[in-house]
Amino acid sequence: MSTKAEQMDERVENENKLTAASVERIVFTIFDISLQSIAADPKAPGARRSHPVFAAWTEQEWQAAGKEELLDYALVRLPATLSGEMVRQIINDVYRVNLSGISALEASTFSLFSKGKWIKQNENDLFVLNTGSTDTEVTVSVTEHFIRQTGSGELPAGLCVELEALGYVYLPEKNQLNYASPDGRPVDDVFKKKTIGALENAGQQIQT
């Protein structure tokens, strides 16, 4: 069975003309994520101007532009041999949604709640990773399946140590790990990957 990223690759390849509207439709169909809702949400993280295609934009123009306008701008200027991966890179910059990362989580041992909805949730997941609506606060907690599987409701000590090294704080009254971005900016992909790696390590130890 193909991954969601592979399904998107095929849809992008077969689309006659990619626009913001068609990309939003493809993403919603495959990932059940509404880029339109993210674009309209004033609490959503702002676009990140790291892709070379946006090099000519001034700061004033950038701040005034909407996410759909930025996506349309990029789609027109990217190579004709546009791939699904290229589109996902632009989406990650503009909407701050890492679709490639989400696709890779399909076999993971944790649920992901982000930007107001469940991105990934299975009954056998052991943990919940919640990045909120702005990606500035992240929490990690256990699921009911974790409690059934381990006979304990407490987060694994090894996971706590690993995440506390990243800046998480353990809140015993909630039995969860919490991270708050010190500068109020959304956490970056490197931080997310380290968090995910720690969760996967903990999940594998429980399942073996």
Q: Where are the alpha helices (DSSP H) in the chain?
A: 4-14, 20-31, 35-40, 59-64, 67-77, 84-95, 99-104, 144-150, 157-164, 189-207
Q: Pick from 6-10, 106-110, 184-188 the range whose average pLDDT is largest.
A: 6-10
Q: Would the pLDDT of 203 be above 80?
A: yes
pTM for the model stands at: 0.78
Alpha-carbon distance 192 to 171, whole Å?
20
pLDDT at 208 over 90: no
**How do residues 120-148 score in pLDDT, each as one tens digit?**
999 999 999 999 888 899 999 999 999 99
Length reported for the chain: 208
The answer, yes or no, to whether residue 1 has pLDDT greater than 80, is no
CB-based burial of residue 49 (10 Å sphere; 0-12 exposed, 13-18 middle, 19+ buried)?
A: middle
Which pLDDT value is given to residue 50? 85
> Which residue ranges make up each domain of the chain?
4-102, 107-207
The predicted-structure confidence for 142-182, as pLDDT tens digits, reads as follows 999 999 999 999 999 999 999 999 999 999 999 999 999 99
Mean per-residue pLDDT over the chain, rounded: 92
The pLDDT value recorded for residue 133 is: 84
Q: Are the beta carbons of 114 and 128 closer than 8 angstroms?
A: no
- Residue-wise pLDDT for 59-73, tens only, equals 899 989 999 999 999
Residues 23-34: tens digit of each pLDDT: 999 999 999 999
